[in-house]
Amino acid sequence: MFNGSAFYSAHQTTLAGTVTCSGIGLHTGKPVKLTLHPADADTGIQFVRLDVIEEHSVIPAYYLNVCDTRLGTTIANSHGVTVSTIEHLMAALWGSGIDNAIVTLDGPEVPIMDGSSEPFVFLIECAGIKTLSSHRDTLEVLKKVSVKQGDSTASIRPFDGFALNITIEYPGTAIPRQRALYDFSTQSFKHALCRARTFGFAADVEKLQAQGLARGGSLDNAIVIGDDAVLNEEGLRYGDEFVRHKALDCVGDYFLSGLRIRGAVTTTRPGHSINHKLLTALFSDRSAWRLVTRTHVAPEFPMQQQAKPPQFATA
């Protein structure tokens, strides 16, 4: 059974069992089967493409492996093998307290499911969570780091926990300006964010599909906004579902740090590109962070950018 305390565990966690789902890729429009497997301590999150040769199949979920941030986060290994739209699954793993997992899939994109993290949280609950004997390290932010990209801004500062202060603005659209604050020491990812769906504009569909994107998008897996209203018959799951989903994306993208971050993020008009830019800026300033175990400050950060054979956990 799912144990919410795993999120706050002093020890690393993994899945207690294996669980599988099938769906279509949001951008490819192609069917894909995905399986979550338990993994040993210090494995982190690793994606494994079953449709390529084994020697080239492993792609660690790590910020240095990000290769594309257009309408989703895509990671690649040194062989050029990619997996895209990983952010909703990464957010579910983070929000469920999972540190180590092997994600196998038979295609290049994580299935979109209903456009939120809820189906993945459900899968994790079905598999259960196992606490491992190894201690969990955390990444502690020591000073403020800020980035800017066009009209988007993001900063992270020291904080005893993890929090998001997020503002979205889409002038001239049916999406109102929305702002929200999430402190995950007092709020649950599952109850606050996991059901919030991805969204897009009907006017952009033809252009995106011409670029090879959004070919699997539909009213079943995204909120679609018309000229002046939401087109989904069932409406929104929350009045502020748009900002909640952007916060969900942030959670998934920041988990590409490979660790749980102790810090508070403030961001305006966030997107996958500036999320990645903030992580890169943080790690580029060695005085801005430290790696902390339960008992000491570690001297170095364990880089995980190189693909290596996945270590599946033994029963």
Tell me the mean pLDDT in the region 152-171: 97
| DSSP one-letter code for 150 | T
Q: Is the pLDDT of residue 141 over 90?
A: yes
pLDDT in tens, 219-254: 899 999 998 899 999 999 999 999 999 999 999 999
| DSSP one-letter code for 96 | T
Quote the CA–CA distance of 113 and 93 in Å, as a whole number.
Answer: 15
And the tokens for 196? 């919030």
pLDDT of residue 296: 47
Dihedral sign of CA atoms 217, 222, 225, 231 in order:
positive
Single-letter residue type at 91: A
Q: What element of type H or E holds 122? A: helix 118-127
Quote the CA–CA distance of 274 and 122 in Å, as a whole number.
Answer: 29
Closest CA to 232 of 222, 240, 241: 222
**Bigger pLDDT: 282 or 186?**
282
List Cβ neighbours of 311 (8 Å cut-off, separation of 6 or more).
39, 40, 43
Share of the chain above pLDDT 70, in %: 89
Closest CA to 32 of 52, 49, 55, 15: 49
Is 56 labeled as catalytic in the residue annotation? no
Which residue in 245, 272, 276, 296 is the catalytic one?
272
pLDDT of residue 199: 94
User: Rounded to two decimals, what is the model's pTM?
Assistant: 0.92
Per residue in 197-208, is it b (16+ CB within 10 Å) or e — as a string? bbbbbeeeeeeb
pLDDT in tens, 7-49: 678 999 999 999 999 999 998 889 999 999 999 999 999 999 9
Tell me the mean pLDDT in the region 283-294: 92
And the tokens for 201? 């504009």
pLDDT of residue 279: 98
